[in-house]
């Protein structure tokens, strides 16, 4: 009876071991299978390969000043809402006399009714700057 019980016990242990080994190899197989899709590639990382880096740059690269202006700034600067310097007018010639550094700082931090970053929370400083240049260049 005792012998039988320990044999059963050993058998049970054996089954459990086999099952866990099996689970481990399945897991490895799964990791191996999903690896190519889940590999992380940073911009500028050599392991990405040139094609991947180029794709990243064109898909998620900086927006042009015109794009940022059209989507984020035009709402106010297109018509001059709340005293906003109006696109395509001498308003911008007056503003640009302050110098780009000042304009950029004021656009980033906000000034009077001008909200910080013109409400474009995900705009980089360079994108904000490009949008300002687009508006300054429009000055008639």
- The binding site for ligand HEC (CB under 6 A) comprises 68, 72-73, 75-77, 81-85, 95, 98, 102-103, 106-107, 111-115, 118-120, 123, 128, 131-132
Burial of 58 (0-12, 13-18, 19+ CB in 10 A): exposed
Cβ distance to ligand HEC smaller for residue 39 or 124: 124
CB of 70 to ligand HEC, least distance (A): 10
Least spacing, CB of residue 67 vs ligand HEC, in Å: 10
Interacting residues of 127 by C-beta distance below 8 A, sequence separation 6+: 62, 63, 65, 68, 120
Residue number, nearest CB to ligand HEC: 118
Q: Which residues contact 119 (CB under 8 A, 6 or more apart)?
A: 72
Smallest gap, in angstroms, from Cβ of residue 126 to ligand HEC? Answer: 11
For residue 78, the 8-state DSSP code is T
């Amino acid at each position: 009876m005792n012998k039988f019980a320990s044999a059963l016990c050993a058998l049970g242990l054996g089954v459990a071991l086999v099952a866990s080994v099996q689970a481990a190899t399945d897991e490895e197989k799964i990791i191996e299978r999903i690896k190519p899709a889940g590999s992380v590639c940073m911009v500028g990382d050599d392991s990405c390969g040139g094609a991947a880096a180029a794709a990243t740059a064109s898909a998620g690269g900086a927006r042009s000043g015109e794009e940022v202006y059209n989507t984020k700034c035009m709402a106010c600067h297109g018509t001059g809402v709340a005293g906003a310097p109006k696109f395509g007018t001498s308003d911008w010639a007056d503003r640009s006399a302050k110098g780009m550094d000042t304009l950029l700082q004021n656009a980033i931090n906000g000034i009077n009714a001008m909200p910080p970053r013109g409400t474009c929370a995900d705009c980089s400083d360079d994108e904000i700057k490009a949008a300002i240049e687009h508006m300054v260049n429009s000055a008639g």
